Amino acid sequence: MKNKLVLGAGLAAVALFAAACSSGSSTSTASSAAPAESAPAASAPAASAPAATEVVFESIETNVPVGYDKPEPGDLTIAYLNPFGGNEFLDTLGESMKVTTEGLGGTLIELDGKGSVDDQVSQLDQLIAQGVDGIFVFALDPNAMKPSLAKAKAAGIALITIDENFTSDDIGDYNSQILQRRDEAAFLGAGQMASIIGPGASIGTMDFAIAVPSIVFSIEMAKKWATAFGLTVAGNASNPSDDIAGGEIAGTELLANYPDIAGVIAYNDPSAVGASAAARSQGKDGLAFGGQNGGSDGLEAVAGGRINYTIQLDAPSIGQFAAWGLYNINQGKDVPKTVKAGDPKLITTENVGSAMTWADQLAAMGG
């Protein structure tokens, strides 16, 4: 299946915000038929509409199934290795897994790696010794985990991970991986940015100072799709601290090095908010800012006009699918090597009022 966005005069409105959780391994369409032009964070003037440009989304994400089939109930003990507790996205995965696992009659063990690779390796070894039935691994350092993953596989423990390989099913000792749909999120974000500032305009991008694979991939895809939509990528700056303050530092650098940019595409919402603050402090009006993740901070930033849009990743579906996949493996069912999360959703000032937070989505979930 191919997803298309058509850019030009008469942009179609964004689709209404959908329900939180996918029903299993079914096919999926793009979460919006076309990007909707949102009210700009810094009162960006409407660009004159160029000739319509059709961009087709094609990726490994296009054809892989959405999640796994819902399993039969069972008294299993499964675990989630949370790399850093206190992060809204990561904690949402754990809450979703817990709701789903308990709904199936099982028990979830969640361990907080607290950002320590050594602790996370020790926790994996601990779970192997406990003889759990399955583990959802969100690895801080995939290479450091490999010896313990081999032990877990040898012990017959089901293993699922997230974003292990963005381009193929080569996922080592894992039974399966769940893709966050970072590529499609980048596609939606680039389309929305182009709809605000107009093809031909230039943008800056913002990544994280630490080369986290999912962030590197996300920004590379943002550059690819921005170019496809007719934008010029002037350059990149790195957020040194993964927060709003770091985004303001990186935004200041972008504006100093590339004073003619019309927008910024950032890897997360705090970075976009920080870049917007940098523009305001310099008296630069008319720039557009786009983020990604769609947590409570991102929704608040869009609603408050600090950024123009965010792409909300379907965190609750990832936790649910991780539990379903581990159950399926234990119940002797074949699972695909690669599945994907539920739809990423374009959230703008036009539809943010109807957008559900991850907490709201969790409250509406069942096992």
Is the CB of residue 343 less than 8 Å from the CB of residue 314?
yes
Which of 272, 312, 311 is closest to 288 using CA atoms? 272
Contacts of 86 (CB under 8 A, 6+ apart): none
Say if 158 falls within a structural domain. Answer: yes
Domain holding 96, by residue range, is 77-180+315-341
Say if 59 falls within a structural domain. Answer: yes
Residues 112 and 201 in one domain: no
Please state, in angstroms and rounded to a whole number, the distance separating the CA atoms of residues 64 and 142.
23
pLDDT of 40 strictly over 90:
no
pLDDT of 252 strictly over 90:
yes
pLDDT of 346 strictly over 50:
yes
**pLDDT mean over 77-81:** 98
Share of the chain above pLDDT 70, in %: 85
Is the CB of residue 79 less than 8 Å from the CB of residue 108?
yes
> How sure is the predictor about 365, in pLDDT bands with cuts at 50, 70 and 90?
confident
pLDDT of 51 strictly over 60:
no
**pLDDT mean over 252-266:** 98
Say if 350 falls within a structural domain. Answer: no
Task: Return the structure tokens found at 9.
Answer: 């005069």
Please state, in angstroms and rounded to a whole number, the distance separating the CA atoms of residues 166 and 112.
25
CATH number where 265 lies: 3.40.50.2300
Number of domains in the chain: 2
Residues 154 and 299 in one domain: no
**pLDDT mean over 287-300:** 98
Output the CA torsion sign for 30, 35, 39, 42: positive
Residues 142 and 233 in one domain: no
Residues 157 and 120 in one domain: yes
Share of the chain above pLDDT 90, in %: 83
Which of 78, 80, 107 is closest to 91 using CA atoms? 80
Please state, in angstroms and rounded to a whole number, the distance separating the CA atoms of residues 128 and 150.
11
Contacts of 28 (CB under 8 A, 6+ apart): 22, 66, 340, 342, 343
pLDDT of 360 strictly over 50:
yes
* pLDDT value, residue 54: 86
**Residues 148-185: tens digit of each pLDDT:** 999 999 999 999 999 999 999 999 999 999 999 999 99
Say if 349 falls within a structural domain. Answer: no
* pLDDT value, residue 367: 55
* pLDDT value, residue 32: 39
Q: How far is CA 349 from CA 55, 226, 275, in A?
A: 24, 21, 18
Average pLDDT of the chain, as a whole number: 88
pTM for the predicted model, two decimal places: 0.85
Task: Return the structure tokens found at 216.
Answer: 């590197």
Residues 271 and 325 in one domain: no
Side-chain-side CA neighbours of residue 319 (13 Å): 30
**Residues 101-137: tens digit of each pLDDT:** 999 999 999 999 999 999 999 999 999 999 999 999 9
> How sure is the predictor about 53, in pLDDT bands with cuts at 50, 70 and 90?
low
Say if 360 falls within a structural domain. Answer: no
pLDDT of 267 strictly over 50:
yes
Say if 302 falls within a structural domain. Answer: yes
Residues 149 and 201 in one domain: no
Residues 102 and 40 in one domain: no
Residues 322 and 336 in one domain: yes
Task: Return the structure tokens found at 181.
Answer: 């749909």
pLDDT of 231 strictly over 50:
yes
> Could you tell me how far CA 315 lies from the centroid of its own chain?
8
Say if 99 falls within a structural domain. Answer: yes
Is the CB of residue 179 less than 8 Å from the CB of residue 340?
yes
* Placement of tokens 């009162």 in the chain: 43
* pLDDT value, residue 16: 20
Residues 102 and 195 in one domain: no
* pLDDT value, residue 36: 39
* pLDDT value, residue 124: 98
3-state secondary structure labels for all residues of the chain:
CCEEEEECCCCCCCCCCCCCCCCCCECCCCCCCCCCCCCCCCCCCCCCCCCCEEEEECCHHHHCCECCCCCCCCCCEEEEEECCCCCHHHHHHHHHHHHHHHHCCCEEEEEECCCCHHHHHHHHHHHHHHCCCEEEECCCCHHHHHHHHHHHHHCCCEEEEECCCCCCCCCCCCCEEEECCHHHHHHHHHHHHHHHHCCCCEEEEEEECCCCHHHHHHHHHHHHHHHHCCCEEEEEEEECCCCHHHHHHHHHHHHHHCCCCCEEEECCHHHHHHHHHHHHHCCCCCCEEEEEECCHHHHHHHHCCCCCEEEECCHHHHHHHHHHHHHHHHCCCCCCCEEECCCCEEEECCCHHHCCCHHHHHHHCCC
Say if 11 falls within a structural domain. Answer: yes
Please state, in angstroms and rounded to a whole number, the distance separating the CA atoms of residues 22 and 235.
37
Please state, in angstroms and rounded to a whole number, the distance separating the CA atoms of residues 269 and 289.
9
Residues 201 and 328 in one domain: no
* pLDDT value, residue 41: 54
Residues 108 and 43 in one domain: no
**pLDDT mean over 19-28:** 31
Residues 302 and 320 in one domain: no
